[in-house]
Structure 1
Amino acid sequence: MSITTKQTLIAFAVGLACTSGFAAQAEGSTATSASAESPHHYGFGTNVGPEELKQFVSPLPDGRGLPKGSGTVMQGEKLYTQQCLACHGANLEGGIGDRLIGGRGTLAAKSGPPVKTVESYWPYSTTLFDYVKRAMPFTSPNSLSNDEVYALTAYILYKANIVPQDANMNQDTLAKVKMPNRDGFKPADR
């Protein structure tokens, strides 16, 4: 089950349980006490604990929230060949999956369509980790270990000429990577 589907089902179950409790309370029925005693009154959802939530990683741009682990460019190259090449191409040029590198400067170019890639569009390297961790590989999302995601991230950033070949990505080094288009975004006025 995909993460989005799981989150949707959990949100639906929580909403349904809350709604049914309020409806019973409004009607003055005794169902309120039954639903308060059993949060699974309708059979939806489960109690979600720290272990289940541990799999969901959503790091901030400054690296807060990144899990422990590490990976090198060379480890990432091997993993890329095994897990990513079929969709993203031998040279990260895309195919069934999106193109990952190239396109620098195309977002602001007056001619031609923009080429949105990790290299040209994404302002923070932590976003790359987050996306790969949650959504890849396409056939089995959220199946890669943190070390594997760090390694793939290192490899993609290396191929995009953002980090050197001897780069080792981890929760400390990844957030320090300055992406080529980091300054291409303006903060929202809030």
Structure 2
Amino acid sequence: MSKSLKLLSLLFACSIALPVLAQDKAPAKRFGFGQPASKEQIAGWDIDVRGPDGANLPPGKGSVAAGEELYMAQCAACHGEFAEGAGRYPELIGGKGTLKSEDPRKTIDSYWPHGPGLFDYIRRAMPFGAPQSLSPDEVYSIVAWLLNQADLWPVDKDMDAAALRQVKLPNRDGFIAGGDPRPDVKPDTCMTNCRKDPPKITSDLAARLGVTPTQKTGD
């Protein structure tokens, strides 16, 4: 091959490779729509409350009396006038001391571990059909009324973030930090060279049924 043809071949190869290399190093393209979320928009979603210590509980205050009115208007249709449950909807109060029985009832006074978790769930998920429609003051009031129904909060004391952090629910020690310690729920995750002892044959049923070959040569 002549020098001219070799040069042309080299130039042709470079003309193919250079766009590919340039494409690999090019910055990622944007779709051209949307905009970064504002602090106000993020704040609208950042409403979760941590159960054990009440982190992110909002400012506000409620009372048992106000909570009773709100509960009757927003919650009683599903959970009963005394939080005893209605129809297929669950009871909220009344299961204290039943977790070890043949009929365990998971209610606030039997199963829930922390008061702030109660606030978190009500604010995010209730009332049914209109979640996140309650103000912090309204949620504090409903929480105060529910805890009063469970004999865990006095009728004449206001409820706020500081007070809710001090609430000690009966089952606060019933949950184990770090998850379930039972060995059968934490299987061995070994993937290679895991067998310590050689396998042992514990039955010759397959051989007796004639569905496995013998060790004799030719069989």
Q: Give the TM-score, by structure 1 length.
A: 0.74
- In structure 2, the residue matched to 1:34 is 30
Contact map agreement 2:76 2:83 (CA 8 A) in 1 = yes
Q: Deviations over 1:84-132 (max 9, x none)?
A: 11111111111142100011121123xx121001111110000100000
Structure 1 residue 90 corresponds to structure 2 residue 103 = no
Whole-angstrom CA distance in 2 between matches of 1:102 and 1:166? 22
Structure 1 residue 63 corresponds to structure 2 residue 59 = no
Q: Deviations over 1:30-72 (max 9, x none)?
A: 793233xx364xxxxx643222232332222212210000100
SS of structure 2 residue aligned to 1:118: coil
Whole-angstrom CA distance in 1 between matches of 2:67 and 2:92? 14
Larger mean Cα displacement after TM superposition, 165-174 or 65-74: 165-174
The 5 Å alignment of 1:74-113 reads 74-95=65-86, 96-109=88-101, 112-113=102-103
Give 1 or 2 for the bigger CA radius of gyration: 2
Where in structure 1 do 4 or more consecutive aligned residues deviate above 4 Å?
Answer: 27-31
Contact map agreement 2:93 2:107 (CA 8 A) in 1 = yes
Whole-angstrom CA distance in 2 between matches of 1:188 and 1:32? 40
- Structure 2: stretches of 5+ with no match in the other structure: 1-22, 182-219
1:133/1:31 CA distance change after superposition, 3 Å: same
Q: Which amino acid aligns with 1:80?
A: Y
Q: Give the TM-score, by structure 2 length.
A: 0.65
- How many residue pairs match? The answer is 155
Contact map agreement 1:162 1:180 (CA 8 A) in 2 = no
- In structure 2, the residue matched to 1:54 is 43
1:154 Cα offset (Å): 0.4
- In structure 1, the residue matched to 2:122 is 132
Contact map agreement 2:60 2:136 (CA 8 A) in 1 = yes
SS of structure 1 residue aligned to 2:159: strand
Contact map agreement 1:100 1:117 (CA 8 A) in 2 = yes
Q: Deviations over 1:124-152 (max 9, x none)?
A: 00010000000000110011000000000
1:82 Cα offset (Å): 0.8
- In structure 1, the residue matched to 2:175 is 185
Structure 1 residue 147 corresponds to structure 2 residue 137 = yes
SS of structure 1 residue aligned to 2:58: coil
Whole-angstrom CA distance in 2 between matches of 1:123 and 1:54? 27
Whole-angstrom CA distance in 2 between matches of 1:165 and 1:81? 17
SS of structure 2 residue aligned to 1:34: coil
Higher share of residues assigned helix: 1
Contact map agreement 1:75 1:151 (CA 8 A) in 2 = yes
Q: Deviations over 1:146-183 (max 9, x none)?
A: 00000000000000111111121111110100001112
Q: Percent identity?
A: 43
Whole-angstrom CA distance in 2 between matches of 1:117 and 1:50? 37
- In structure 2, the residue matched to 1:21 is none
| RMSD, aligned CA | 2.2
Whole-angstrom CA distance in 2 between matches of 1:28 and 1:39? 24
